[in-house]
Structure 1
Amino acid sequence: MREAYHVELEQLAENLASMSLQVADAMERATRALLEVDLGLAEQVISDDAKVDDARAECEEQAYALLALQAPVATDLRTVLAAIHAAESLERMGDLALHVAKAARRRHPDPVLPEEVKADFAKMGEVGVSLARQVEQVIKSKDVEAARTIESDDDEVDEIHKHLFTVIMDRNWDHGVAAAVDVTLLGRFYERFADHAVSVARRMIFVVTGKMPGYGPDEL
């Protein structure tokens, strides 16, 4: 029974890791759609979002079944509870990629981003996708140091996000209010995407150590 139970726990972790790759791919495509004004890629992200939702539902169903049928304790209990929270964060990451793709579709055939901020969004997309792929490895390995690296890497996205405000508030900004709003919202989507990657990493630290690192209001 215990062997079968641990096989189920491993399967749950595999499903979460797979979800991480799904949202990484979604944000990678959404960013390309945004930067390259690619309607086809935007539509692909939008249509594929249902798969992320289904993956979350499957992970939660597995987790609740383990809670109900196996009554796990100690590390096993932390693993199941962390999986429930991680699945929620990963689904939100998918939703944020969806929002980016919808912005690209909404403005098509016009570009959403002015030229002077494209490099910033390219970098935020690159770092965000990298964080999601790192999460996949952390879920599989439960490597505490690798999980902590995700939190430090998130700082780069935060700095770019702050920089965007200085760009749109500059007196030389001549792209109007609508473009400023788009840049503000999109910057927030990328910042939150990275934050949720950090949240998942913290859950993995909790599984291993039994202690939850610092968290923000969205994780209460």
Structure 2
Amino acid sequence: MREVYQEQLGMLTDVLASMSAMVGTAMERATKSLLEADLTLAEQVIDEDALVDEARSRAEEYAFGLLALQAPVAGDLRSVIATIHAAEDMERMGDLALHVAKAARRRHPNAVLPDDVSAYFAEMGRIAVKLANQVSTVIRTHDVEAARLLEEIDDEMDDLHRHLFTVLMSPDWEHGVATAVDVTLLGRFYERFADHAVAVARRVEFIVTGKMPSR
């Protein structure tokens, strides 16, 4: 019975790690579509979001199966419940990449971003992908130190997000209210993507230590 449980838990881990890779790829493509007004890439992200949703459903199916059939206790139960929440976080990460892609599609063939802020989003996109990749590693290894490293990477995203507002609030801003609204929303999507990545890492730390990080 224990061997069956471990096998099923391994399948759940594989699905979660795969989800992290999927949302990282989605945000990478969405960022490129945003920066280059690439409609093909935007459509690809939009179409493939359903795959992330299916992966979450599969993760929940495995998790509920473990709860119903294996009757896990203590640390085992903690692992299953935490992974259910982690799958939800990663689905939200996929949704945020989807929002970026939809913004690129909505403004096509025009660019969404003025040159003043393009470099910010190129860097935020890079950090978002780095976070997703780090999450995948953390899920597979249960490395607490690697999980805590995501907090530092998230700080980089937060700094960029704050600096972005200095550009928007500058008296030199000349791109109008509509563009400012687009930039504000897009910046928020990247910041939230990072927050959800950190939430997944904290859940892994909870699985390992039994304590949810308070920071």
Q: TM-score, normalised by structure 1?
A: 0.97
Partner of 1:141: 141
Separation in structure 2 between the aligned mates of residue 54 and residue 7 of structure 1, nearest angstrom: 21
Is there any run of 5+ residues in structure 2 with no aligned partner, and where?
Answer: none
CA distance in 1, matches of 2:67, 2:27: 32
Q: Paired residue for 1:77?
A: 77
- The answer to whether the aligner puts 1:106 opposite 2:106 as a matched pair is yes
Rounded Cα–Cα distance in structure 2 between residues aligned with 1:177 and 1:207 = 45
* Partner SS state of residue 92, structure 1: helix
Post-superposition offset of 1:43: 0.1
Where in structure 2 are the equivalents of 1:112-151 lying within 5 Å? 112-151=112-151
- Counting only pairs closer than 5 Å after superposition, residues 167-206 of structure 1 correspond to structure 2 as 167-206=167-206
How many angstroms apart in 2 are the aligned matches of 1:94 and 1:127? 15
Kindly report which structure 2 residues correspond to 1:35-46, keeping only aligned pairs within 5 A, or say none: 35-46=35-46
Provide, for residues 110-155 of structure 1, a one-character-per-residue CA deviation record: whole Å limited to 9, x for no partner: 0000001001000000000110010000000000000000111100
Query: 2 CA distance for matches of 1:214 and 1:182?
Result: 33
CA distance in 1, matches of 2:181, 2:73: 48
Structure 1 gap segments, 5+ residues each: 216-220
Rounded to whole Å, the distance in 1 between the matches of 2:64 and 2:158 is 34
Q: Report what 2:88 is aligned to.
A: 88
Distance 2:76 2:136 in 1: 19
Shift of 1:78: 1.1
Q: Matched residues in 2 for 1:6 and 1:157: separation?
A: 36
Report the TM-score when normalising by structure 2.
0.99
- What letter corresponds to residue 23 of structure 1 in structure 2? V
Root mean square deviation, CA, Å: 0.7
Q: What residue is the counterpart of 1:66 in the other structure? A: 66
Superposed displacement of residue 214, structure 1 = 2.0
| Alpha-carbon distance in structure 2 between the residues aligned to 1:174 and 1:31 | 23
Q: What's the offset of the Cα at 1:45? A: 0.1
SS at match of 1:113: coil
Q: Moved runs in structure 1, 4+ residues, more than 3 A?
A: none
* Corresponding residue number in structure 1 for 2:158: 158
